[in-house]
Amino acid sequence: MDTTSSATNLKAEQVIEKNLAARGGLQAWRGVQRLSISGKVDKTVSSLMIPYVMETKVHGVKQPEKIEIENIAVNPRVEDSRFAKLQ
């Protein structure tokens, strides 16, 4: 794994390439036939139970992806521009 370059200097395409490579490569993802997601609900925020830890496993890809939720915003204001169709 290359740790010599700063993450802040990477372009979006480079981040995507590194992410794909770390998870078995693009061909592995194109061959996905089964995907499982599991989570553990054990955190209450503003009276809401939320998944605190989520893990995604893809059949054929060795490294699972783990997501830990640290912050929740209930009913935040979202600008309409966020829903615009990407060019």
pLDDT of residue 73: 76
At residue 55, the pLDDT reads 80
Q: Give pLDDT, residue 41.
A: 67
SS3 79: coil
- Residue 47 has φ and ψ, to the nearest 5°, of 70, 15
Yes or no: say if 53 and 40 are a contact pair by the CB < 8 Å rule.
yes
Determine the 3-state secondary structure of 63 from DSSP.
coil
Write down the pTM of the prediction.
Answer: 0.35
Ranges of residues in the chain with a pLDDT under 70 are 1-8, 41-43, 45, 51
Q: What is the 3-state secondary structure (H, E, C) of 29-57?
A: HHCCCCEEEEEEEEEEECCEEEEEEEEEE
